[in-house]
């Protein structure tokens, strides 16, 4: 019996709204609000359930958010707008005494840098207000944190090596498109890589380290070492980790396009003056690229995301690999979305369900690996994300 306000009517917002609407026993009232009202209305019309209300909101504007929250009175806000809006939405939740969940950590618009410090700084204020904030509850971050917590709870005394592997072996038929918000995606890929080793961060040039990694049902794919936000929280919450890395696959064509765009300056976030107007090249690029939500129809192939772990159990070395594969076409059949939006939106709904049904409790700001992984792992296959595990087999990332 809960009311949720979902903010952001993009690729992920569509999935979260449909998935919440499909669980009426938990989500009794749903509002989808975003910058462009028509996108909310379109999704609500498609769902065709009068429990789904819509509204226009500028999530950069705290008073506007507060007014909307006070009017609708949700128990929780699910933030699937952009990382730029995390802090304004958290402020509004504090002011209105509302629980909070998001899928990506805060990033200032004018610096391509993401880290948890800004959101972790809200811990005491959420704690004092008796509120729960769940950070990074998509797939990665999100399920990857739950996978790691599950491994730590059931299979390891100490985790020593963690490799998160993220493969998209899909084909959307477009020459160049990103699977989630192009601006955020390109900022993430074009910045320096980073991984954790022996108590410190090791920095690499963008996409400098790469190798083929074998993915279940897919085969080998070129995988690139990137910095990814869950590394920061996982090495903090599992301090036995000696090395933590994140790998993502990219095709040759994608990298070629990205290199050209970078070399001609189109990925820059520094404004340029054009005909008397200041334009941010990356924002302009986003405007001409396909929207992530438009890629679903006809998208073939699958994604495979998982955690490959080496550590110690009862004094013996152990390996563990846990993963999910998602077919883009199956995601489209289920909720008219491509696999990346799907693998993000389903966990966001499940995380909200965990918080609203009291399976995950706490006062303050938490990353997903801090909660009991079991009820979340149980819910994943039920809502569309089956997972598989392999114990004491050679890890593909180490081959």
Q: Would you give the binding string for ligand NDP spanning residues 17-46, x where CB under 6 A is met?
A: -----------------xxx--x-------
83 binds ligand NDP (CB under 6 A): yes
12 binds ligand NDP (CB under 6 A): yes
- Which range binds ligand NDP by CB under 6 A, 139-147, 248-256, 265-273, 327-335? 139-147
What is the three-state SS of the chain?
A: CEEEEEECCCHHHHHHHHHHHCCCCCEEEEEEEECCHHHHHHHHHHHCCCCEEEEECCCCCHHHHHHHHHHHCCCEEEECCCHHHHHHHHHHHHHHCCEEEECCCCCCCCCCCCCCHHHHCCHHHHHHCCCEEEECCECCCEHHHHHHHHHHHHCCCEEEEEEEEEEECCECCCCCCCCCCHHHHHHHHHCCEEEEECCEEEEECCCCCEEEEEECCCEEEEEEEECCCHHHHHHHHCCCCCEEEEEEECCHHHHHHHHHHHHCCCCCCCCEEECCEEECHHHHHHHHCCCHHHCCCCCECEEEEEEEEEEEECCEEEEEEEEEEEEHHHHHHHHCCCHHHHHHHHHHHHHHHHHHCCCCCCCEEEEHHHCCHHHHHHHHHHCCCCCEEEECCCCHHHC
Map the footprint of ligand NDP across residues 196-225, applying CB under 6 A. none
Pick the binder of ligand NDP from 41, 46, 60, 115 (CB under 6 A): 60
311 binds ligand NDP (CB under 6 A): no
Q: Write down the least CB distance from residue 139 to ligand NDP, Å.
A: 4
292 binds ligand NDP (CB under 6 A): yes
Residue 89 or 151 with smaller CB distance to ligand NDP: 89
- Which range binds ligand NDP by CB under 6 A, 58-66, 196-204, 318-326, 356-364? 58-66
Q: Write down the least CB distance from residue 197 to ligand NDP, Å.
A: 24
Pick the binder of ligand NDP from 139, 155, 161, 196 (CB under 6 A): 139
Residue 89 or 356 with smaller CB distance to ligand NDP: 89
346 binds ligand NDP (CB under 6 A): no
- Which range binds ligand NDP by CB under 6 A, 57-65, 207-215, 353-361, 362-370? 57-65
Pick the binder of ligand NDP from 5, 9, 169, 177 (CB under 6 A): 9
335 binds ligand NDP (CB under 6 A): no
Residue 102 or 327 with smaller CB distance to ligand NDP: 102
Q: Write down the least CB distance from residue 109 to ligand NDP, Å.
A: 10
107 binds ligand NDP (CB under 6 A): no
């Amino acid at each position: 019996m809960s009311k949720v306000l979902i903010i952001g009517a993009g690729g992920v917002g569509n999935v979260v709204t449909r998935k919440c609407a499909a669980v009426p026993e938990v989500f009794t009232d749903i509002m989808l609000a975003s910058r462009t009202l028509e996108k909310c209305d379109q999704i609500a019309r498609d769902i065709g359930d009068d429990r789904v209300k819509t509204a226009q909101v500028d999530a950069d504007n705290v008073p506007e958010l507060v007014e909307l929250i006070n009017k609708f009175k949700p128990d929780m806000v699910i933030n699937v707008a952009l990382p730029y809006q995390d802090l304004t939405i958290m402020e509004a939740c504090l002011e209105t005494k509302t629980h909070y969940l998001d899928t990506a950590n805060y990033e200032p618009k004018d610096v391509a840098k993401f880290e948890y410090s800004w959101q972790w700084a809200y811990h005491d204020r959420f704690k004092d207000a008796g509120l729960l904030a769940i950070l990074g509850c998509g797939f990665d971050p999100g399920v990857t944190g739950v996978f790691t917590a599950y491994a730590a709870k059931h299979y390891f005394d100490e985790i020593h090596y963690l490799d998160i592997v993220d493969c998209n072996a899909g084909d959307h038929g477009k020459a160049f498109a990103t699977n989630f918000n192009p601006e955020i995606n390109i900022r993430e890929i074009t910045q320096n890589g980073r991984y954790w080793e022996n108590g410190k961060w090791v920095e690499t040039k963008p996409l400098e380290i790469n190798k083929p990694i074998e993915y279940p049902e897919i085969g080998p794919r070129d995988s690139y070492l990137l910095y990814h936000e869950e590394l920061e929280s996982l090495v903090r919450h599992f301090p036995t980790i000696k090395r933590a890395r994140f790998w993502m696959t990219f095709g040759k064509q994608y990298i070629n396009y990205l290199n050209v765009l970078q070399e001609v300056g189109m990925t820059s976030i520094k404004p340029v003056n054009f005909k008397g107007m200041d334009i941010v090249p990356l924002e302009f690029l986003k405007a001409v690229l396909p929207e992530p939500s438009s890629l679903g129809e006809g998208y073939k192939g699958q994604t495979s995301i998982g955690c490959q772990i080496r550590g110690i159990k009862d004094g013996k070395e152990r390996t563990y690999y846990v993963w999910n594969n998602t077919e883009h076409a199956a995601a489209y059949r289920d909720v008219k979305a491509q696999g990346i939006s799907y693998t993000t939106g389903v966990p966001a709904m499940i995380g909200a369900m965990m918080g609203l049904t009291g399976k995950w409790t706490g006062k303050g700001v938490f990353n997903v690996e801090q909660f009991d992984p079991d009820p979340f792992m149980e819910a994943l296959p039920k809502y569309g994300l089956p997972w598989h595990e392999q114990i004491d087999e050679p890890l593909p990332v180490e081959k």
